[in-house]
């Protein structure tokens, strides 16, 4: 009911163990979508992959994604078992262009329910490999049959818990 009341694109979001909240699309800048919460946390996504998050301590300032990354190509299957290198920049504390190697794998298939509608998804895992600060994480993505990330659980900084997102109302150009 809350989602239907909002006339804009929206997502259900939860950071760590906090309660689910609704974030609303605030701005579109080329292929980057800026989502905002009622307490002014800003989540920036590219193809539903978090690339920037502000409004908390230990902020993710930007991710320069590998050119083969699925957020750039919308293709998860072609990069399975290939090492990708993306560059993470953080604020508070500052860390500029940390190279982080990751590898994607297909974990299985799952049907998820989004506002009463069942969607068949492939579940992919992105696992960090070696990096200079020994940051280890596993991100999960539920990808629809049309190659769109519908649901995700993604770490965005070494000091914060993961963000969980679920697309409740898609953005349409």
**95-150: per-residue pLDDT in tens?**
999 999 999 999 999 999 998 899 999 999 999 998 999 999 999 999 999 999 99
pTM of the model: 0.94
**21-76: per-residue pLDDT in tens?**
999 999 999 999 999 988 889 999 999 999 999 998 889 999 999 999 999 999 99
Q: What is the model's pLDDT at position 138? A: 98
Contacts of 5 (CB under 8 A, 6+ apart): none
Query: How would you label 84-116 residue by residue, b for 16+ Cβ within 10 Å and e otherwise?
Result: bbbebbbeeeebeebebebebeeeeeeeeebee
Q: What is the model's pLDDT at position 4? A: 77
pLDDT higher than threshold 80 for residue 1: no
Average pLDDT on 143-168 reads 95
């Amino acid at each position: 009911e809350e989602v239907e009341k909002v006339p804009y694109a929206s997502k259900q979001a939860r950071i760590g163990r906090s309660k689910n909240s609704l974030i609303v699309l605030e701005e579109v800048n080329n292929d980057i979508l800026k989502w905002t919460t009622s307490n002014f946390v800003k989540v920036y996504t590219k193809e539903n992959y978090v690339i920037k998050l502000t409004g908390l301590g230990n902020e993710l300032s930007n991710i320069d994604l590998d050119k083969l990354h699925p957020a750039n190509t919308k293709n998860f299957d072609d990069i399975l078992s290939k090492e990708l290198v993306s560059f993470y920049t953080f604020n508070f504390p500052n860390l500029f262009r940390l190279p982080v190697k990751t590898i994607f794998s297909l974990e299985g298939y799952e049907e998820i329910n989004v506002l009463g509608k069942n969607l068949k998804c492939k579940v992919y895992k992105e696992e960090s490999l070696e990096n200079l600060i020994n940051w280890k994480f596993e991100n999960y993505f539920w990808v629809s049959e049309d190659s769109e990330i519908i649901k995700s659980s993604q770490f965005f900084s070494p000091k914060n818990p993961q963000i969980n997102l679920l697309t409740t109302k898609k953005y349409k150009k």
